[in-house]
Amino acid sequence: MNIDWNTLGFHYTETDYIVRSAYRDGHWEAPYATRNKYLKLHVSATCLQYGQEAFEGLKAFRGIDGKVRIFRWQENARRMQRSAEGLKMQPVPTDIFGEAIRLALKKNKRFIPPYETGATLYFRPLLIGTTPRLGVGPGKEFEFIVIPSPIGPYYEGKFHCTSFIVNRRVDRAAPLGTGAFKVGGNYAASFRATEAAHAAGYDCLFTDSKTHHYIDECSAANFIGIKKNTDCSADRVQTAPLTDQFTIEYLTPRSSAILPSITNDSLMALARERGYKVTRRKIRVEELSDMQEAAACGTACVISPIDKVYDPDNNRTYHLTDEPGPILTELYQALQDIQYGRRPDTHHWCEVVDS
């Protein structure tokens, strides 16, 4: 094995084993490790014919103490269960999910990146419908697979700023559709917009598909904004830090069409700990002018600060910051400190496993 841990990007690197489990005859089989990375599928399987598929993403971190920590895998199990129910698939029980993650880690120990390289061992749990079917309808048999791969930062340069372009031409997901589920079809639906954005030197900021006035998601990640408010009235959060008559507000969109991010949920908890006001609501694109910081956040990118957002329909550029701002930097560091064991895990987010 010859891997340069310090230069890994967010790309697939083959490991020794994947882990598999099938649902047949009304029950899940015990997860098992295999070197076989290929599927034997009927051409009429429901995952191929009708997109009956869901996936997840989570990480294991080599800590400062040499121990390995799996971050909030139970939340990934629950989110995959919600996705499965949304697509009429058999949910993977939490104990099966956890057993499969631990087994994938155990069988691929040599691919856990060293501490301080910026790389992690990423797990891609996948759930697919395998029942052969031509008539439209859900399958009755399923396969659950955990694909491990060491990865580096999602965006090149680790913790640095990225530019975004507002998209009002392509709808990633409908308000009452599958946007709240982590399914492949949502990402395929975004490709037209994201590839056009990348060609122009940006990443893509999606707006809501009903009005196109409100921010929904940053490509494959949640959006967060930081505002310094001058409102010192009685109805503000009393514990919010007050500096030079400013209070700090952590803003993130409320929408039925975006994926509930486990990273965003964690960052909101850390923001509340610091007394910041945390608000989840509809956010108009024009509100970017009132934000001092903004970012994409998710398992893959953690936090990716945004330096500017270009709105082509209004020929307007929102300049936010030239480098990662102090609030997002603080939250990024606090989350990484927990994941790498540099501070106590008071939230009990990490499962420490033998390495």
Confidence (pLDDT) at 1: 76
Q: What's residue 317's pLDDT?
A: 98
**Site of tokens 């990375």:** 37
* pLDDT the model gives residue 234: 40
In three-state secondary structure terms, 216 is strand
The residue length of the chain stands at 355
Residue 157: which pLDDT band, with cuts at 50, 70 and 90? Answer: low
Three-state SS across 174-197? CCCCCCCCCCHHHHHHHHHHHHHH
- Burial zone of 322 (CB within 10 Å; 0-12 exposed, 13-18 middle, 19+ buried): exposed
Q: Output the average pLDDT for the chain.
A: 93
> How would you classify residue 352: left for phi > 0, otherwise alpha for psi between -120 and 50, otherwise beta?
beta
Q: What is the pLDDT of residues 72-123, one digit of tens each?
A: 999 999 999 999 999 999 999 999 999 999 999 999 999 999 998 989 999 9
Q: Which amino acid is at 214?
A: Y
No. of helices (H) and no. of strands (E), the chain:
6, 19
Tens of pLDDT, residue by residue over 294-352, are 999 999 889 999 999 999 999 999 999 999 999 999 999 999 999 999 999 999 999 99
Q: What is the pTM of this model?
A: 0.93
